[in-house]
């Protein structure tokens, strides 16, 4: 087929090259050692000071050995330093998506997990990771493989070893659910014994066993489905809880035993309150929160991750006009609730739930958070500062500061005045390696 027999290593290199893509910047992939050996200055018209919510103009960043060595309007480069002149661009830290599904793709969210083999889904996850990186997302939290077990461990480890391109990953493995819960195969013929898209765990003992198994298989954190199936009536959300407060508390204690944390899928009460009382790291979706829940989240700095983009996508791609209208009303109600949560001081992180909609397009989430009432600077701080904390990379990513990883992107325009600039990323560097560029190099 290829004209000769390839050795295993050659074949793997060929597959990686095809996965990276034959256009764009494949020649830059895998050159991290070369890139890091020579210091480089990135130069652009503007640079984002995330914490201050302001632009510095002009902006220069000195990158050495995969980290940021210096930042300022005018730097004095060491001898032999390369210069990447990005012109009329804004430099900012690589974006963070705190809620992704690398193992899902559009149009087949449910049947995909039944019809596609795990090897096939791993290949698609590798391609999805590349798409997200090229869109400027240099760090992500993968919130469950949806029936692919701990396959995300292999994807994370391959990225970390520079075998494939992708964001830094925090992974949860398969996620955890109850029998008949939100991700169980409830709509299939029970005689076919279709497996759940999550790991079933009923009661505290099974929950702790599942947590220990997922950590054994490489999970960085634990994702638990706490509510579902959702239904809406007259603007009110009904969503049964799946684990009691005591069960969630046991899960939090067990993960804390090994220095890790729990994130929950939870859209409404009382499950969201149980999660806040248990002390989870984040409540993802958070469509409706009670006053007590919001107060606890503010006091304990538990992040809400709204995931507006997936709701918008489902509303726009509903099977019937009536279903689309219902989903649109639910999205609007979530937007109204989001404004209340902001007023109450609920801390926010940014997560899109990408997977059922196309990977690489999730900057739309930041647009929607602005649309629903959050100023652009605050959205960027939620994404970069809060995202770094949520992913346990605080002090390492999310800001352009000396000592941080050189995860840097560039966009046209000013994202503080037009957040949609983040949808047009023209330059991507991760760990000092350039993966995407339109530079004038001197």
Residues of the chain with CATH 2.30.40.10: 24-94+401-441
Low-confidence ranges of the chain (pLDDT < 70): 1-37, 108-110, 235, 439-442
Structure tokens belonging to residue 241: 């809880």
Residue-wise pLDDT for 377-412, tens only, equals: 999 999 999 999 999 999 999 999 999 999 999 999
Instruction: Write the burial class of residue 318 (CB in 10 Å: 0-12 exposed, 13-18 middle, 19+ buried).
Output: middle
DSSP code for 5:
P
Residue 21, CA distances (Å) to 33, 288, 320, 339 in order: 21, 42, 37, 41
pLDDT at 237: 87
pLDDT on residue 186: 79
Topology at the third CATH level for domain 24-94+401-441: Urease, subunit C; domain 1 (2.30.40)
* pLDDT at residue 261 in the model: 98
Q: In angstroms, how far is CA 321 from the centroid of its own chain?
A: 30
pTM for the structure as a whole: 0.91
Specify the long-range contacts of residues 184-188, CB closer than 8 Å, at least 24 apart: 185/114, 186/229, 188/114
Task: Please tell me the predicted confidence (pLDDT) of residue 17.
Answer: 41
Rounded to the nearest angstrom, the gap between the alpha carbon of residue 185 and the centroid of all alpha carbons in its chain is 25
Within 13 A of 250's CA, how many CA atoms are on the CB side? 16
pLDDT at position 139 is 98
The architecture (CATH level 2) of 96-390 comes to: Alpha-Beta Barrel (3.20)
Helix 8-20 vs helix 118-134: crossing angle, to nearest 10:
50
Question: In the chain, which segments carry CATH 3.20.20.140?
Answer: 96-390
User: Rounded to an integer, what distance in angstroms lies between the CA atom of residue 64 and that of residue 40?
Assistant: 7
Three-state SS for 41?
Answer: strand
Query: pLDDT of 183-215, one tens digit each?
Result: 888 788 888 888 888 999 999 999 999 999 999
pLDDT at residue number 229? 86
* Predicted pLDDT at 109: 58
Residue (of 348, 15, 317, 272) closest to 163 by Cα position:
15
């Amino acid at each position: 087929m290829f004209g000769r027999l390839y050795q295993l290593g050659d074949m793997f290199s060929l597959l990686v090259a095809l996965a990276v893509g034959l256009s764009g910047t494949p020649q830059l992939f895998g050159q991290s050692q070369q890139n890091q050996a020579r210091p480089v200055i990135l130069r652009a018209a503007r640079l984002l000071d995330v914490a201050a919510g302001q632009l510095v103009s002009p902006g220069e960043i000195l990158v050495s050995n995969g980290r940021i060595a210096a930042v300022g309007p005018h730097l004095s480069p060491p001898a032999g330093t390369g210069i990447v002149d990005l012109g009329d661009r804004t430099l900012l830290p690589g974006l963070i998506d705190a809620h992704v599904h690398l193992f899902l793709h559009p149009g087949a969210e449910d049947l995909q997990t039944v019809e596609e083999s795990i090897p096939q889904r791993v290949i698609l996850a590798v391609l999805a990771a590349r798409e997200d990186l090229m869109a400027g997302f240099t760090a992500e939290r993968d919130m469950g493989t949806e029936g692919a077990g701990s396959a995300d461990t292999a994807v994370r480890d391959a990225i970390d070893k520079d075998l494939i391109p992708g964001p830094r990953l925090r992974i949860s493995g398969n996620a955890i659910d109850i029998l008949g819960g939100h991700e169980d195969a409830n709509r299939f013929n029970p005689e076919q014994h279709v497996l759940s898209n999550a790991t079933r765990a009923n009661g505290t003992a099974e929950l702790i066993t599942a947590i220990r198994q997922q950590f054994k298989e490489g999970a960085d954190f634990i994702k638990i489905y706490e509510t579902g199936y959702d239904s809406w009536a007259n603007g009110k959300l009904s969503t049964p809880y799946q684990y009691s407060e005591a069960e969630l508390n046991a899960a939090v204690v067990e993960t804390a035993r090994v220095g890790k944390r729990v994130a929950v899928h939870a859209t409404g009460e009382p499950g969201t309150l149980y999660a806040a009382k248990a002390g989870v790291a984040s409540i993802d979706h958070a469509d409706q929160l009670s006053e007590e829940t919001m107060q606890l989240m503010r006091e304990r700095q538990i992040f809400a991750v709204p995931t507006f983009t997936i709701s918008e996508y489902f509303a726009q791609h509903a099977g019937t006009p009536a279903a689309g209208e219902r989903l649109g009303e639910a999205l609007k109600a979530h937007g109204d609730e989001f404004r209340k949560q902001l007023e109450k001081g609920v801390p926010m992180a940014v997560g899109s739930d990408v997977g059922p909609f196309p990977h690489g397009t999730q900057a739309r989430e930041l647009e929607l958070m602005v649309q629903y009432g959050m100023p652009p600077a605050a959205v960027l701080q939620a994404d970069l500062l809060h995202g770094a904390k949520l992913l346990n990379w605080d002090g390492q990513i999310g800001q352009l500061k000396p000592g941080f990883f050189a995860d840097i992107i560039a966009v046209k325009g000013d994202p503080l005045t037009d957040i949609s600039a983040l949808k047009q990323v023209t330059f991507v560097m991760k760990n000092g390696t350039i993966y995407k560029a339109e530079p004038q190099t001197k």
